[in-house]
Structure 1
Amino acid sequence: MTPNLRTTLIFSGLICLIGAAFYPIYFRPLMRLDEAKKEQAINRAGVVQDMQPPGLKVWSDPFGRK
């Protein structure tokens, strides 16, 4: 195996690994907004937004349009 081919395979594998890690974290919720909003509502059911530490912004919906 030539050094250039080996280097290419190593970097391609690294990029694939990073892509596979980012898919469920970032891309899947963006493609399924309704499902992600339902999960988010369940996960944040007990969060009281009135109590914020000083200096922090009040939480807002990350899926909301700007």
Structure 2
Amino acid sequence: MTRLTGLKYAAFIGAIIGFMGAVTYPVIIYPMMNTEYYKKIQREGRKSIKQEEVQPGNMKVWSDPFGRK
């Protein structure tokens, strides 16, 4: 096995970083930048679930204590 030096080493490291960026974009960055699409999917998926019925131990349904909307 030969040792990578100089430009070949830089290209190898650049390829690894580029690959990691290409992999993380659709998984992490795209959903954070386009939240409306995922909120719509979540709303449709939870449409038939009544939160009061699935709440464990007769606990009150969560509400934001700071009143944000």
AA aligned to 1:9 is A
In the TM superposition, 1:32-43 aligns within 5 A as 32-42=34-44
Task: Give the TM-score of the pair, scaled to structure 2.
Answer: 0.56
Q: For the residues of structure 1 that align with 2:6 and 2:42, how far apart are their CA atoms?
A: 45
Aligned position for 1:4: 6
Instruction: State the shift of 1:50 in Å.
Output: 1.9
Q: TM-score, normalised by structure 1?
A: 0.58
Q: 1:25 matched to which residue of 2? A: 27
Long gaps (5+) in structure 2: 57-67
Aligned residues: 52
For 1:11-58, what per-residue CA distance to the aligned partner results, in whole angstroms no more than 9, with x for missing partners?
10000100011001111011111012112334x52776524xxxxxxx
What stretches of structure 1 of length at least 5 have no aligned partner? 52-64
Task: Answer with 1 or 2: which has the greater Rg.
Answer: 2
Look up the equivalent residue of 2:55 and give its one-letter code.
Answer: D
- Identity score, percent: 24
Equivalent residue, structure 2, for 1:14: 16
Of structures 1 and 2, the one scoring higher in RCO (CA 8 A, sep 6+) is 1
